[in-house]
């Protein structure tokens, strides 16, 4: 694979940022193979992403980071420099519904998701054999509905043990405790089975059926303390008709859920998403 360094930054907007950053890269022979920028007019904030060919530089990522240090301070940047050859460590969390999990595993095996899958955590054992066929550890962690703390403590221990960069709730069906939401801020990706902000909360397909909508959707978002209110990464919809019963909506919705989740995760793995407030900038 082509090794690149991904430079992601945001800072208060002003003249000359792109030039200063680009000049710094080019001065050292760096080849910029991709670049995207966004100025948010309302917040007067600037967002940018550069992809630099690693082998065009005569030094490594640490040296590059040091060279940017003064600029980061001067412009008050949130600054991130990532080596594309260090795949992110991802933990998948799933329940009984297998469509998202199975879909992500096949994409990963087919090299369409550039990451390491550290393990799968589930409160059920149904998919253990399949996950292990992929060579991925499977942890059965029961969340007792009357006492959830021990289960989630185990989840937290696993996340920390694996030093996971990203947790994917692949139709996990459990609400993550607030403390974990905060601890893994902008690292937990959820797929919600409605076109948010429609049908927040439980049983969205039932709600959709009652309201008689003609399209149903799914929303991939970062998990925050506010349930179903986190920054939206991606969404999509599929057409339904009066003849589709709730179980048809559930089935049709699965296709949207797995596609949108995979797309959102891919953007995350490629460091294409910047969050500001409750919104995302996605440089796709």
Contact residues toward a copy of itself (CB under 8 A) are 15-16, 18-20, 22-23, 25-26, 29-41, 56, 97-99, 102-103, 105-107, 109-110, 112, 129-130, 133, 195-199, 211-215, 217, 231-237, 241-243, 245, 251, 254-255, 259, 262, 278-282, 284
What distance in Å separates the CA atoms of residue 124 and residue 255, rounded to the nearest whole number? 22
Locate the DSSP E strands across the chain.
4-12, 31-40, 45-53, 78-83, 88-94, 115-122, 138-140, 166-169, 188-192, 215-222, 232-239, 273-276, 279-282
Q: Which is nearer to a copy of itself, 82 or 213 (CB)?
A: 213
Q: How far is the CB of 255 from a copy of itself (least distance, A)?
A: 6
Q: How far is the CB of 147 from a copy of itself (least distance, A)?
A: 30
Task: Say how far residue 52 (Cα) sits from the centre of its chain.
Answer: 22
Instruction: Just list the catalytic residues.
Output: 228
Q: How far is the CB of 270 from a copy of itself (least distance, A)?
A: 12
- In 10 A of CB 70, how many CB atoms? 10
Q: Which is nearer to a copy of itself, 118 or 259 (CB)?
A: 259
What distance in Å separates the CA atoms of residue 244 and residue 251, rounded to the nearest whole number? 10
Q: How far is the CB of 160 from a copy of itself (least distance, A)?
A: 30
Q: Which is nearer to a copy of itself, 145 or 239 (CB)?
A: 239
CA distances from 157 to 131, 154, 241 (A): 20, 5, 45
Q: Which is nearer to a copy of itself, 158 or 260 (CB)?
A: 260
């Amino acid at each position: 694979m082509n090794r690149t360094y991904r430079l992601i930054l945001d800072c208060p907007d002003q003249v000359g940022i792109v030039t200063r950053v680009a000049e710094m890269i080019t001065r050292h022979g760096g080849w910029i193979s991709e670049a995207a920028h966004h100025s948010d007019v309302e917040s007067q904030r600037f967002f940018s992403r550069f992809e630099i060919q690693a082998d065009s530089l005569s030094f490594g990522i640490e040296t590059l980071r040091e060279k940017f240090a003064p600029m980061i301070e001067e412009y008050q940047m949130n600054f991130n420099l990532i080596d594309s050859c260090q795949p992110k460590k991802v933990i998948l969390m799933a329940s009984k519904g297998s469509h998202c999990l199975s879909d992500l595993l096949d994409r990963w095996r087919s090299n369409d998701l550039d990451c390491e899958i550290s393990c799968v955590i589930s409160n059920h054992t149904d998919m253990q054999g399949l996950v292990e066929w992929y060579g991925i550890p499977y942890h059965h962690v029961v969340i007792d509905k009357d006492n959830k703390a021990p289960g989630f403590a185990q989840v937290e221990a696993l996340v920390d043990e694996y030093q996971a960069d990203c947790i994917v709730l692949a139709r996990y069906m459990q609400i993550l405790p607030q403390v974990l939401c905060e601890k893994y801020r902008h690292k937990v990706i959820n797929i919600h089975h409605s076109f948010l902000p429609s049908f927040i909360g439980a049983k969205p397909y039932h709600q959709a059926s009652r309201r008689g909508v003609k399209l149903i959707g799914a929303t991939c978002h970062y998990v925050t303390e506010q349930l179903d209110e986190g920054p939206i990464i991606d969404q999509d919809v599929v057409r339904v008709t009066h003849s589709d019963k709730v179980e048809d909506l559930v089935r049709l919705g699965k296709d949207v859920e797995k596609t949108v989740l995979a797309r959102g995760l891919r953007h995350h793995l490629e460091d294409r998403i910047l969050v500001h407030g409750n919104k995302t900038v996605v440089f796709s």
